[in-house]
Chain A
């Protein structure tokens, strides 16, 4: 398979992996196939110092593949069960997680709790805040959005703020928010960061064939754009080979609707 035939999901895995570049000895957690493959790819290529679990309780130096495998296939190098996770990884700031919230607002606040209605009676009950409040105030976080839309990138604030962002109105005097460190948002259209004015969300690259108008049309708030935007790089042959090995059952093909190619066929010369 040639690089130009790769899927959008594979391009996104590479874009996600860049989030962890140079992070050093922190626990890299990618929730969902694309962020997880991105973290694994980062560890196997540019940032081998990253720490990673088998998804259950053990630290591994060889990232475990996605999907069915033997229960004891993983080789444990260390131990990081849930019972130690907050003390060891979260509240020490030694982690960079990439998650997929249900809503994100212009402050980088996210929602995983409920949609619509009220705290007492939500219209749609979701998981609950899980570890988002602690993660967001203590360690680096990034986000992966498989379908960039106004329903996700909401116009006002998210329905329930499950994670801390850069909203000054929500910061109490004397509170320590120095650990809030939002890095990138990788979507099916573009890559964004929080490098705009007052940590505003800023587009930093567009995927092949995507226009900034398309991105703006699918976002509920204003996006900062500085100058000409580069195109998100395609994976290399080496990266594609590693991804294929990490995802032998091709779970990545199910992440983006229709599993489109990274470069639309008609635009390939």
Chain B
């Protein structure tokens, strides 16, 4: 492991990669800060640029963007009570009241230190957990992988759907349908191409991500007539107050950070759960840990109330990399985008990544940590300046998003068809968003589609067409049981509990 860490450090600390982490963190912070534009959009916008680099550099850039976007989301939560991403909603509970009390600088500092500490502790957990799990996952067979992918989709559908499980499952199927377009990987038989050469290679992953996130986000803002930066115009973004913390505040954070990190990491590892659930759970847990006096401060600007969700959401971000790097199965929409990018580089994450591409495996892990340091030393002093981004009017914001979306696809294919297809999917996604159809399950399903078919193919061929592979191995049985439990829980919470 020490050797791996050194390989990772050597790659991550090269001049080019350090610059990439900085650019990534900076760009991610800016994009993540804009309400509505979260890490998925930020990474999606970066993908076409990363294809010009070697895989390790590209992934380091994206990891920086990811952390930067999460940090940026916290900033908009604290300053204007407009969380850029769902994972930072809980941050606004105490962060925004602190900002209203004239302690915006302090709130941002607490968020930055907590994020740093949560990310650092979780990166250590990741260092320990990932190689061990990689070795364990070598014993996984195709039926287990197929089961795990169904579990991932069901869990993301259950957790991201906010009570709309069926809608989320429809989006999963839609994502899988889109993934099935193009030539069959084994036989090269064209499927759903309608005799168009443009579809024979399938639909590009970047196209789907750009359409469903970046472009449809921009269209939704226009359609609803929202101005995401309106709230920023009502506050002073240059006078944020001191960023120094006193002894008492530091003491409170020291107690909160370890437990929230552990919770966040564990929740992050679970498929589908992610930063949002981690931050809410940490907030709730912290409220139970503090004394009566501090409990009264929750929701009114409590240091622990702000530190706990911020620590947990960053720890969960690191935790989410565990299933991605060790099993090759993303547990969230954002890591699904990362998986798509990895596949674009020709790298198949999974247990063998640790052996076949140790420099990528370790450099991604190490760059996460470096990203945390960069965020702390670069972004915190610059926050009063970066915060001005929040005041960018939508008249400039929307055209820029549309421009980056079209350019991203143009750079990849130099093809009108792909641009029109992206616009078509974006329009459909905008209508679906309007009626609360969640997009993360669609992306996850789109990314997993090929792998899922491949594992189902192997499983069915081994079992001679029988579905008994689902209960032949104890591990597969356990996975299927968890899937059934999630479905039963969803039916119970959607229909039976509401009637009662």
Q: Is chain B found bound to chain A in the same assembly?
A: no
Spell out A's residues near B (CB within 8 Å).
none
